[in-house]
Amino acid sequence: MNVALATSEIPTGRDELWRYTPVDEIRARIERSVNASHIGPVSVTRPLIDALTGTNRPRLVFVNGFHAADLSDLADLPAGVRCGISDPLHADDTDDADDPVVADVALVAIAEGVRLDAPIHVVHVAVPDPLTEHCVLSLPRTVIEVGEAAHLVVVETYCGLDGSMLPTLSNTSTTIRLGDRARLAHYRVQTESTTATHVGHTRIEQGADSVFQMTSVTLGGDIARNAVEVHLDAAGSRTELAGISMTSGSQRHDTVVTVDHAASQCSSSQRFAGVVDDHGRGSFNGEIIVRPGTTATDAHQSSRNIVLDANAEADARPWLRILADDVRCTHGATVGRLDDEALHYLRSRGIALPQARAMLIDAFVRDITDAIPHDSVRSHVAALVGAAAAAPIPVEPHR
């Protein structure tokens, strides 16, 4: 299969979609990085992957962008479902060994009319190099193709080694194409280590009357960017985006969403919740474009954020470019604090402050976790979010 890869170029000049991202710092980190090598670290084992992502099958596992067949498990795939690696287009088009190299491209494809309810897992593990201690740069690539009227569920996981103090940098790209009347539920879970840099980009192209549902969960990384770009180029398609981002320590999370309504009778919704704690920073940058000449567009966006600590910061920026008349569009952005009265209420019943706080943080993102229709994914995400909510309360002075 011939695949065109979306790029995740880091801009050189001013770019509104990179407004909140520390571009210079990311560039500096790239400069200091070494390319991931094919000789995968031996420390990554099947039990480790199980522990990081659950024992779910089928799964395709990649370490620093390289396919790890021994960690993958593709038994019993139904007919019409392809799951494996595809040839990269960009490899070997340069002689400069210092240029980052796209390793293996994950490919999940489902044929016309085929329906698969069980989620397929694509796992990308970012593993540092304990020998050189240099930042390891990898370029994970994923392509998901959903044939006409096919139904598919994909869970993409980006994880690292728990507690690793060595840096990694993942510049990821996922390209998703839905045929006419196709349906994809897509989850993107990022739990890389807090020394990781994650620059993620997901591009979605939807056919007529297709339905795309995505829930992203961003918990890991030191600097993490989650960019999602949806192209509604055919009439009657629907896209529903939801996401949770939670920071602590000095993490920075940027969520950047563009929904481009280029066809008529399309609807889109965006529901994002951000929790920033300690010295963390979170931003939501959500763009809605409605192209001239389109009709009957429905576009909604909401970004809710809570700031848990005086040192934390949240920004929410809706960016609407409505160039047509027949549009129903709503948007709202809030930045608030934890409800003191609710916190006191819980504590007055004997629930200790850290747990009371965790309950309220969990409640804040609950509508998004509860809305996940796939049981195994919902409980996995709920557990991750619950653990993040229960992270220790920062104490002053910091560190």
Partner 1 sequence: MLHIANLHVSVADQTILDGLDLDVPSGEVHAIMGPNGSGKTTLSNVLSGRDGYHITGTVTFDGVDLLPLTPEDRASAGVFLAFQHPVEIPGVGNMYFLRTAVNSVRAHRGLPELGAGEFLGVAKEHMARLAMDPAFLSRSVNAGFSGGEKKRNEILQMSLLEPRLAILDETDSGLDIDALRVVAQGIERLRSPDRSMLIITHHTQLLDDVRPDRVHVLQGGRIVRSGGPELAHELEAAGYENLPSEVSV
Considering only 320, 355, 374, 378, the residue that binds partner 1 (CB under 8 A) is 355
**Is residue 397 reached through a cis peptide bond, with omega within 30 degrees of 0 on the bond before it?**
yes
Position 381 contacts partner 1 (CB under 8 A): no
By CB under 8 A, residue 360 contacts partner 1: yes
Least Cβ distance, residue 383 to partner 1 (angstroms): 15
Return the closest-CA partner of residue 159 out of 105, 196, 214. Answer: 196
Binder among 4, 69, 91, 363 for partner 1 (CB under 8 A):
363
**378 part of the interface to partner 1, by CB under 8 A:** no
* 383 contacts partner 1 (rule: CB under 8 A): no
CB atoms inside a 10 Å sphere around CB 381: 22
Query: Is residue 371 a contact residue for partner 1 (CB under 8 A)?
Result: no
Classified as helix, coil or strand, 139 is coil
Task: Pick the binder of partner 1 from 291, 366, 374, 378 (CB under 8 A).
Answer: 366
For residue 382, state whether it binds partner 1 (rule: CB under 8 A).
Answer: no
Closest approach, Cβ 358 to partner 1, in A, equals: 10
Check residue 351 for interaction with partner 1 (CB under 8 A): yes
292 binds partner 1 (CB under 8 A): no
Among 116, 234, 259, 359, binds partner 1 (CB under 8 A): 359
Q: Does 367 bind partner 1 (CB under 8 A)?
A: yes
Q: Which of residues 318-347 bind partner 1 (CB under 8 A)?
A: 339, 341-342, 344-347
Q: Which residues of 12-39 are buried (b: 16+ CB within 10 A; e: fewer)?
A: eeeeebbebbbbeebeebbeebebbeee
- Of 299, 307, 216, the closest CA to residue 265 belongs to 299
Pick between residue 347 and residue 374 the one whose CB is nearest to partner 1. 347
Contact assessment for residue 253 and residue 278, using Cβ atoms and an 8 Å cutoff = no
For residues 165 and 363, which CB has a smaller minimum distance to partner 1 in the complex? 363
Cα angle at 155 between 277 and 272, to 5 degrees? 40
- Could you count the other beta carbons within 10 Å of the beta carbon of residue 396? 7
> 115, 153 in Cβ contact below 8 A?
no
CB atoms under 10 Å from CB of 112, counted, come to 14
Nearer to partner 1, 50 or 339 (CB): 339
CA geometry: angle at 139 spanning 135 and 145, to 5°? 155
Query: Taking CB under 8 A as the criterion, which residues in 119-148 touch partner 1?
Result: none
The footprint of partner 1 on this chain (CB under 8 A) covers a number of residues equal to: 22
Q: Contact residues for partner 1 (CB under 8 A)?
A: 339, 341-342, 344-353, 355-356, 359-360, 362-364, 366-367
